[in-house]
Structure 1
């Protein structure tokens, strides 16, 4: 057996927070849905290699949902950048807004797709004694979110693992 700290034994961690509320106001019923899901995977690539894979918005070959983007090679994401992606589900382009970037730590984007759905995605990189952890967090809000979650759930579960494997292939 290897002598590793307890934090190293798990290859992936998943955290789920789900909220569903029915609100009655002025004789109308409102439905409020919120889902926060985080996937965390241990990667043996360096922080720099992993970060370069995340911020390379032109190469999303590792992403199970996104097929292509309109970002030119070499463009570094900055807050306020809006670009388009085409998903593997539909040929209709979806706009993405870069909300927050902390170099070598965090990239947060918001999908501007359909009214009734708010989709925020956060990539987070953390270096530990065990290796580099990459976290992929999805936050869905809106009345159409349960349907969207039903469609993308199997693909979202693979994003962090695919990203880690792609970074490890580059590092090898």
Structure 2
């Protein structure tokens, strides 16, 4: 497991904050298996922070798709907007839960000689971001590793 920490806290006038962090993990699963786990928005059982989504099984993530997900911390649906999708490479979404916080999440997958790397980047913006980051940080730190583990389990079972 490899962690790449790029933590930034930027405070500008007006109490606007931005927090960014990237986590990486290596997996023995192929890029295709990892990619299928990422874009299967109906199955978030591997995600340490999410419990469910309202996405029907079989729906393929496309830019512009809006759906809801429910977190383990607060059972309130959060609206999610799919921003970018580059098949087999990159998946980016923006979450808008409450006023004062915006969260952007990006998954990247790349194949190397050492295995398949999955990168999970999270950016929080807004005046509530320091408080929200304090609450979700332990969960966010596990996302890349849990994704890699779930993909490896899927590979072993097939």
TM-score category of the 2 structures, normalised to the smaller one: over 0.9
Matched residues in 2 for 1:17 and 1:62: separation?
A: 24
Residue matched to 1:3: none
Q: Could you tell me which runs of 5 or more consecutive residues in structure 2 were left unpaired when the two chains were aligned.
A: none
Write out per-residue CA displacement over residues 46-91 of structure 1, whole angstroms, 9 at most, x where no aligned residue: 0000000000000000001110000011101000000000111122
Q: Which runs of 5+ in 1 are unaligned?
A: 1-10, 24-29
The Cα shift of 1:34 comes to 1.1
Select the structure of larger CA radius of gyration. Answer: 1
Residue 90 of structure 1 aligns to a residue whose secondary structure is coil
Q: Return structure 1 stretches of 4+ with deviation > 3 angstroms.
A: none
2 CA distance for matches of 1:19 and 1:94? Answer: 24
How far apart are 1:22 and its partner, in Å? 4.3
Count of matched residue pairs: 156
Deviation sequence 1:11-44 (CA, Å, 0-9, x none): 2122223223242xxxxxx112111100000000
* In structure 2, C-alpha distance between the alignment counterparts of 1:67 and 1:129, rounded to whole Å: 34
What's the Cα RMSD here? 0.9
Counterpart-to-counterpart distance in 1, 2:4 and 2:129? 19
Normalising by structure 2, we get a TM-score of 0.96
Find the partner of 2:147 among 163, 166, 169.
163
